[in-house]
A and B are shown apart, each in its own frame.
Chain A
């Protein structure tokens, strides 16, 4: 599966492990709930770790753990759920998170310019056909009125 990271199309090395499945080797991400439950077990294994959070989760809730995480996935259940944009801003702007922030789920290729401005630097497309338009849309605007992350 290919994704966009830092404006490049690359092969994705990460696997998302659903809540009741066994952990796999390699780079994996898990839900925030699972992270909280199995933190110790997760930290003891080899490979990078990521957490997938949804709009109803709170960044503040696991801010202390950010140092152990190389990836935060912001998962859109529906494109209109704009809480994700504030979560991204909080991760970068308030907690100074330096790892990868990736948009997943049902967002629109038309939202990626805004997402990149609030600090999202990777995009997992809903459909592979969306990759070119997603990449192009990162350059929708060359000017901006507000300070944000980018």
Chain B
């Protein structure tokens, strides 16, 4: 007897009992849908974090004033009153660390800005002319300030998109004058749009001015809070980190038992940590979902076993009229494979649907991977074979006379 006919026999048997077939499939449907949805959530998070880190530049390092205690008591927030980091430190890093390509000091001031009769609360970040290159963040219109603006502490600003959208609807901001803490600043450029970061914060609600201007005219300080540094290549970030640490310890005259009064953060590290965390989360979500897939498989075996007992007479009839045991075994095996694979396909549909709905309903990014789809199909087929084999063998091993006599 050929395979196609056994397939037909199995299909008819399943169709004869639609309710039971549907309920049996439910376990697999839920299992597969869960695997696909969970893995897509995990991978979506991973992808969005990777995106962000890549957009920051993988060869970027950040140096901050203050220490990063292990206990996190004084976590390096680089506040205005931590004055351990200076512009000279940054100049020295540029000069003396061979793995460093570019560096900018950074000071921040929260401030209200006024244009015409409108105002807006935002923050002003003071940096040098290398900022767009270090952060790989380009100017969209107008231009960024240059070295002479830094030297003369010019009152010029480059605005983020959010500020433009709110203060200059329908007006070209370049060339306009805004007031920051009572001082007039000339707008010379607008940054390209960046969107939200992983924490959902708007990265475009910011503006940039020469760090010298922010230090002298707004904050009246001589130290800086942060420095953003670009290593000569992504691979050089670790040596750059070492060189910076050594140099700053030496410049700050720290003894061997004194802890750093600064911290260096390496984006590659951040990327790897985030990646690892996410990978673990994906595996965890995937395994939890796989357990439900296993439970679904056991459900199939359960029903198939009950089915073999319940259909003993049917098996006896089939054997009496000439079905070989192999045909009976194949029939039951196909029944369970059809149940699990068909359930698997429905599960994929629902899983993909969930992956599309989750970003809309919960705001989490998702990424449906082919691996998880192919994996679930193979897994559900394997579930069908594995959990269907025992009941099928049991059915094929029945004695036709005993089976016919079964009530």
Judge: A and B partners, yes or no. Answer: no
* Residues of B participating in the A interface, judged by any CB pair closer than 8 Å: none
* Residues of A participating in the B interface, judged by any CB pair closer than 8 Å: none
